Amino acid sequence: MKFHEDNKFRAAFLADDPSAVNAFVGHFVTVLGKMGHAQGLSREESEDAVQECFSVFFKKVNDIRPDVKLSTFLFGVFLNSVRETRRKRGRHESHGDLASIETLIDQQYDDKGHWKPGVGPKPIENVLKQEESRHLENCLEGLPEKHKTAILLTLQGEEDPKDLCHIRDVSYANFRQLLSRARNALRLCLENYVGEP
């Protein structure tokens, strides 16, 4: 069975039809993996987030309201998995073991104890990059779910936008409108941050 989310597919999926379940999982493992990578996760982190997403999804699948698409619910669960992965990464990075910190410090100096060329401390640039990245993430998180999904699917850049509209089960024109609104909202959010029109 090929994945196309309609009432017939949903009924087969909820009845645990193996072909429907395999079509759904097979389709979205790749899509979610690419979305995780577009969100800045490493390959391993992305795979872990996808696995966690499907684990939660299958536990809650029978609780999904009939008016909510399976794919929409899956995307919501995945974005929560990505958020949790980032939170864990931040906690791990801020409390990393001393040996890895020592290794990083040693890599910045030559044998005489001087800074290696081009490595010296750049605290202002590092803080600005982190702040810009956090603001971009906040802007992205502030988007409505349908706009956020459209922009994330597009950021992965490996699929034709005409194919992406089928993932969201919308027309190509509607998908382009969602994407345009998402880009505009991000632009406005970032302009407010920078303070420029």
- Parts of the chain with a pLDDT under 70: 1-4, 90-106, 115, 118-128, 156-159, 166-168, 193-197
Cβ atoms of 151 and 140 closer than 8 Å: yes
Give pLDDT, residue 78.
Answer: 87
Q: Which CATH class is domain 1-96?
A: mainly alpha
Rounded CA separation 13/149 (Å): 22
Task: Write the single-letter amino acid at 163.
Answer: D
- Write down the pLDDT at residue 131: 76
- Domains of the chain, by residue range, sit at 1-96, 142-197
In this predicted structure, what is the pLDDT of residue 11?
Answer: 86
- What is residue 170's predicted lDDT score, i.e. its pLDDT? 80
Q: Which of 123, 92, 119 is nearest to 107 (CA)?
A: 119
What is the structure's pLDDT at 182? Answer: 87
Whether this model's pTM surpasses 0.85: no
Say what the pLDDT of residue 31 is. Answer: 84
The answer to whether 167 and 31 have CB atoms below 8 angstroms apart is yes
C-alpha span between 26 and 24 (Å, rounded): 6
Looking at domain 142-197, its CATH class is: mainly alpha
pLDDT for position 197? 46
How many residues are present in the chain? Answer: 197
